[in-house]
Structure 1
């Protein structure tokens, strides 16, 4: 499944993406989620919840799909 996420700020963090995509309900859950699921950003595994995501970044989350960052609408 592929979803487009429109950024209204210059960037968001990986933890914010998890909340926006309704994968987690609070920021505190991000640490535990990232310990259990593999996240690939632009082809590289990354588990940092503070990782900045910019327009055109592609985030693949195991069992949840692919998210493409785009400049805001």
Structure 2
């Protein structure tokens, strides 16, 4: 007896990305979709620091990764 292929949970097999191609063949999440916009991170960091403070590029990128990971962790609970 042959088994039918499992049906997808959404019924259709479509993607929410209307016509955009994913950089990975497996349909992985793009980096820009996973992280918060860097401009928002910088704005929040500047509010907490003195007006003449400089923020290193590495610090901005690290905060972007940490904040995004934290939000992902909180929303997955």
Could you say whether these structures have the same fold, taking a TM-score greater than 0.5 normalized by the shorter chain as the test?
no
The normalised TM-score by structure 2 is: 0.26
Structure with more strand by fraction: 1
Structure 1 or 2, whichever has the larger Rg, is: 2
Tell me which of the two structures has the higher relative contact order, counting C-alpha pairs closer than 8 angstroms and 6 or more residues apart.
Answer: 1
Tell me which protein shows more helix as a share of its residues.
2
